[in-house]
Chains A and B, each alone.
Chain A
Amino acid sequence: KAGVTQTPRYLIKTRGQQVTLSCSPISGHRSVSWYQQTPGQGLQFLFEYFSETQRNKGNFPGRFSGRQFSNSRSEMNVSTLELGDSALYLCASSLARSGVYNEQFFGPGTRLTVL
């Protein structure tokens, strides 16, 4: 079974631009979560999507947004990029079964550099 895939793997943008990152979950997984990872802040939760709806959100500004499609694939968008947005953006998928803990499986990440 294929793992979580993320595209692109690397991205270089300049301040003020916007960017869209893509994540394809493991087949059958219905939940997709996004994280930002930086050396100083560690892994920080951005948001989670389930059945095309955002059901959990972290403490990030409105410049960070996302969506999920009917096939569970998800995209994340960052508008008006700032230097501090440079990070590894990770996507994780899970089965989202009710009543039990659903382990998250991570993709390789997208390394975003803002110049």
Chain B
Amino acid sequence: TQLLEQSPQFLSIQEGENLTVYCNSSSVFSSLQWYRQEPGEGPVLLVTVVTGGEVKKLKRLTFQFGDARKDSSLHITAAQPGDTGLYLCAGAIKTSYDKVIFGPGTSLSVIP
């Protein structure tokens, strides 16, 4: 059974602080996606990482894919209230179609 774990499950921080959330698995993924979901809405794709060791930056967000393509991290610098939401990682396994496994998510609350 392929599983994705995310930590921490919940995170509450003050505006301006930095944070890192983690996504781990024993499986190797062909790519990994990070999504942010706001209450009552669907997840919005933030980034896709494909190459082991890859680092992508999106303004204050830095995403890293592990060398072995089994784990990933999301680092947010100077968090803002608008960053509040559920952060989901999703690992893709390439077969004859795209098999995607979602992690349980990290719920982030940024307090003004």
Q: Interface SS of chain B: helix, strand, loop or mixed?
A: strand
Count of CB-CB pairs between chains A and B under 8 Å: 56
CA distance A3 to B35 in the complex (A): 16
Chain B hits for A106, CB < 8 A: 35, 42-45
The tally of residues in A whose CB lies under 8 Å from a CB in B reads: 27
Tell which of B17-25, B56-64, B68-76, B91-99 binds the partner: B91-99
CA distance A81 to B92 in the complex (A): 31
B40 touches A109 (CB 8 A): yes
Q: Interface SS of chain A: helix, strand, loop or mixed?
A: strand
Supposing A42-B102, A43-B102 touch, asked if A90 and B43 sit within 8 A by C-beta, the answer is yes
Per CB-CB distance, the 8 closest pairs between chain A and chain B, nearest first, are A106-B42, A43-B102, A42-B104, A101-B31, A106-B43, A108-B42, A109-B42, A101-B92
6 pairs of residues in contact across A and B, judged by CB atoms under 8 Å: A4-B42, A42-B103, A92-B42, A104-B33, A104-B100, A108-B42
